[in-house]
Amino acid sequence: MEVVESVVPQQKSGFFARLKALPCKVKHNIIMVGKNIKKLGKDDPRRVIHSLKVGLALTLVSLFYYLKPLYDGFGMSGIWAVLTVVVVFEFSVGATLGKGINRACATLTAGALGVGALHLSSLFPKEEQPIILGSLVFVLAAATTFTRFFPKIKARYDYGLIIFILTFSMISISGYRVDKLLQMAHQRLSTILIGGATCIIVSICVCPVWAGQDLHNLIASNIDKLANYLEGFGDTYFQTAPEDKDCVNDIKNDKSFLQGYKSVLNSKANEESLANFARWEPGHGRFLFRHPWKQYLKIAALARQCAYLIEALNSQCSSDIQAPPDFTSLIQESCIKMSSETGKTLKSLATSIKAMKHPNSATEHVENSKTAAKDLKSALEAAAIEDLDLLAIISAATVASTLVEIVECVEKISDSVHELSQMAHFKKVEATVSPEKAPQMLLHRGTVKPVLLDGDTDDDHVVITVHDDIASDSPDKQNVKTPKTRVAPASL
């Protein structure tokens, strides 16, 4: 590392110096790559497992070649099983199932159509057949390619349409020369089905990665990130401001977790693809088939809306004009309360989504934050400050006004999480918080660690009563305690 850096000023000594430094540079690069690999695997160990699963599935289908009886049955068509495994095996069960089902259905329909096209062309003289077949391939390929532009079809059936074109073209083009077409088609189809089935079985049976679970965790963790910011913001803005003018720097240096909300701003594409995969998945764990995945997208859109407001709030931190103390004291209390209560609302919503419990406690915090907004309004109405420096108050006023917007937005988020709770039959919970704990929790500030990592640590102070009112259709009674599930990485 040192050597690499010292090379820069000696650039004039040229080629030989660089040649001398080369081994060090290479060594340095190898170490860096090694560190990156380790980090990638540590960030989400499922990546390592997925890689091994792909190897396993490939080894399984290669038995078509290695075992004599299987090879005698399928012959060279076994290669289609290998091909299917490589292109169909995806990270999550939903994506693998989606691709597998797409491939199987598309191969079947295109295969049937292809055989039909060959039959049609066989009615014409041999020299005219290529023209008939060529035109059919042209028309079908063009029409199917155009269909791929429909956004809804692209989201769910894109791969199927590609395989449809592929299979139809292969059968109708190669059918012109191959004689035992039906036997070939049959062998290929069965190996493709076997390859697809291998993928799906390995994907589901060996440490499955459920896209639905990932989406669920992602939404909860996004809401949690917003909560972290809001819980910390009020105190950071109003208390450290007099000591340290540039509160952005402060936030950046000391409280980097307050920047976590930034990843929520651009999470739309990721959420939508996870929701698309999740729809392919069968019921698993706490999620039944036809779990309301669309509602998650609605919550995610509102969370993004809230993140935009937080972004606006954050940009106010860079203002270096200090509000006069009498104005600050006027709004400080209600602003800190709005910020911390919306933070608590979101925290509680995140926890309840995570644990799939009814978000009871959130309602109380929503009411508190609305009361704080009303308090702010009446404080401002009643205020009679003379000789007010308008310029000085404008930044603080903006913060207050944005916080009021956030209160409204968080109420919407809470409503839609309640809807989700109804739609997905979340468990009803009565949380009795011991009274001496309550005020402490209310004063809890920015340093709260994410619930996702230590959701169980405070449980000893909370008595939880579970009313299992959906006993008939809930196969997961044993999951009443908050299960420790991992947070979905944003890069999936």
- The reply on whether position 386 binds its own copies by CB under 8 A is yes
Q: Is 471 exposed, middle or buried (0-12, 13-18, 19+ CB in 10 A)?
A: exposed
> How many residues touch its own copies (CB under 8 A)?
85
Touching its own copies, residues 135-194 (CB under 8 A)? 137-139, 141-143, 145-146, 149-151, 162, 165-166, 169-170, 173-174, 176-178
By the 8 A CB rule, do 271 and 219 touch?
Answer: yes
Nearest to 362 by CA among 372, 354, 374, 350: 350
- Which listed residue (27, 35, 252, 268) binds its own copies by CB under 8 A? 268
Task: Specify the residue for token string 């944003």.
Answer: 490
Touching its own copies, residues 396-425 (CB under 8 A)? 397-398, 400-402, 405
Give CA 467 to chain center in angstroms: 31
By the 8 A CB rule, do 163 and 102 touch?
Answer: yes
Piece of 198-206, 351-359, 390-398, 465-473 that binds its own copies (CB under 8 A) = 390-398
Q: How far is the CB of 64 from its own copies (least distance, A)?
A: 8
Q: How far is the CB of 18 from its own copies (least distance, A)?
A: 23
Q: How far is the CB of 453 from its own copies (least distance, A)?
A: 22
Give CA 78 to chain center in angstroms: 36
- The reply on whether position 391 binds its own copies by CB under 8 A is yes
- Which listed residue (7, 70, 312, 462) binds its own copies by CB under 8 A? 312
- Which listed residue (5, 179, 387, 460) binds its own copies by CB under 8 A? 387
Determine the Cα–Cα distance for residues 481 and 151; give it in Å rounded to an integer. Answer: 40
Three-class SS of residue 332?
helix
- Which listed residue (22, 40, 155, 453) binds its own copies by CB under 8 A? 40
- The reply on whether position 207 binds its own copies by CB under 8 A is no
Touching its own copies, residues 70-89 (CB under 8 A)? 71, 76, 78-79, 82-83, 86-87
Residue 127 one-letter amino acid: E
- Which listed residue (189, 288, 394, 487) binds its own copies by CB under 8 A? 394
Nearest to 209 by CA among 314, 107, 91: 91
Determine the Cα–Cα distance for residues 483 and 486; give it in Å rounded to an integer. Answer: 10
Q: Fill in the DSSP letter of residue 291.
A: -
- The reply on whether position 132 binds its own copies by CB under 8 A is no
Nearest to 310 by CA among 370, 265, 371, 256: 265
Give CA 115 to chain center in angstroms: 42
By the 8 A CB rule, do 236 and 313 touch?
Answer: no
DSSP state letters, 359-386: -HHHHHHHHHHHHHHHHHHHHHHH---S
Q: How far is the CB of 177 from its own copies (least distance, A)?
A: 6
Determine the Cα–Cα distance for residues 305 and 407; give it in Å rounded to an integer. Answer: 12
Cβ neighbours around 63 below 10 Å, total = 13
- Which listed residue (41, 285, 450, 483) binds its own copies by CB under 8 A? 41
Q: How far is the CB of 240 from its own copies (least distance, A)?
A: 21
Determine the Cα–Cα distance for residues 284 and 330; give it in Å rounded to an integer. Answer: 52
Q: For the window 460-489, what string marks contact with its own copies as x by the rule CB under 8 A?
A: ------------------------------
Nearest to 238 by CA among 329, 365, 374: 329
CB of 160 or CB of 359, closer to its own copies: 160
CB of 120 or CB of 141, closer to its own copies: 141
Q: How far is the CB of 123 from its own copies (least distance, A)?
A: 18
Touching its own copies, residues 276-305 (CB under 8 A)? 304-305
- Which listed residue (52, 182, 206, 466) binds its own copies by CB under 8 A? 52
Residue 461 one-letter amino acid: H
The structure tokens listed for 3 are 């050597």
Piece of 5-13, 227-235, 240-248, 393-401 that binds its own copies (CB under 8 A) = 393-401
Touching its own copies, residues 236-255 (CB under 8 A)? none
By the 8 A CB rule, do 303 and 413 touch?
Answer: yes
Piece of 52-60, 99-107, 247-255, 417-425 that binds its own copies (CB under 8 A) = 52-60
By the 8 A CB rule, do 202 and 53 touch?
Answer: yes
CA dihedral 308, 310, 316, 318 (to 10 degrees): -100
Q: How far is the CB of 277 from its own copies (least distance, A)?
A: 16
CB of 91 or CB of 426, closer to its own copies: 91
- The reply on whether position 395 binds its own copies by CB under 8 A is yes
Q: How far is the CB of 42 from its own copies (least distance, A)?
A: 12
CB of 390 or CB of 443, closer to its own copies: 390
CB of 75 or CB of 483, closer to its own copies: 75
Touching its own copies, residues 321-360 (CB under 8 A)? 330
Piece of 61-69, 116-124, 280-288, 444-452 that binds its own copies (CB under 8 A) = 61-69
Q: How far is the CB of 394 from its own copies (least distance, A)?
A: 5
Determine the Cα–Cα distance for residues 28 and 71; give it in Å rounded to an integer. Answer: 48
Three-class SS of residue 90?
coil
CB of 3 or CB of 155, closer to its own copies: 155
Determine the Cα–Cα distance for residues 473 and 388; give it in Å rounded to an integer. Answer: 63
CB of 391 or CB of 471, closer to its own copies: 391
